[in-house]
Amino acid sequence: MTPKTIIFIGPQGSGKGTQIAKLYEAIVAVDPNRRIVDIQTGRRFRALAAKSETFADKKIAASMSTGELQPDFITHLLWGQAMLDQLDPKSHLLIDGFPRTAHQARVLNNALEFFERKEVIVINLDTPEDIVRGRMMERAREDDTADSIETRLRWYREDTLPVLDFYRERADTTVFDIDGTMDIEGVHQAILQALNLN
């Protein structure tokens, strides 16, 4: 199996984190000797917010509670440091939580060039807003308030959907549109089929 660069895109509540965990296990099963670098910026932001030690930690926690998009420089710093610490051209790379804007996609593209990762696969978990709204309310995370959910859905529509256009036009890129309304196993199987892993 050749090294894969797989970016998950979808609104919050579409199941990206769950599907990355399942895909991680599936890749380990077929390619056990290759490292998998799994970068999920949401998880990293939540860890900073939970620490609540520095000014930045506290400001991140406050902005997460409102659902606002985090500043580009922090997002780039978090995933950039993870790549510097862990990534090489021989590893698989799984990404969730960025890019969330076209600008972030261009910065990520620059990083992928640096790490000699030409081919990119995008898994677009296409999930209607009413479905993800319900899922977010059910998961009962502290930052999932009614107002923050609506804010996140708005910036997903306005800022993140254009990222899909960026990847549909990028050379050496395949975008798989996966029906995110299926159950967890149904989505997982569709992803495995798209990646020829089943």
Assign residue 98 the CATH number of its domain: 3.40.50.300
How many other C-beta atoms can be found within 10 angstroms of the C-beta atom of residue 157?
12
Whether residue 120 is predicted with pLDDT greater than 90 in this model: the reply is yes
Distance, CA of 188 to CA of 198 (rounded, Å): 10
Distance, CA of 172 to CA of 186 (rounded, Å): 27
Number of domains in the chain: 1
Burial of 72 (0-12, 13-18, 19+ CB in 10 A): middle
Distance, CA of 113 to CA of 188 (rounded, Å): 29
How many other C-beta atoms can be found within 10 angstroms of the C-beta atom of residue 131?
15
8 DSSP β-pair partners: 96, 123
Q: Give the structural domain span for 119.
A: 5-194
Whether residue 65 is predicted with pLDDT greater than 80 in this model: the reply is no
Q: pLDDT digits over 148-189, tens only? A: 889 989 989 999 999 999 999 999 999 999 999 999 999 999
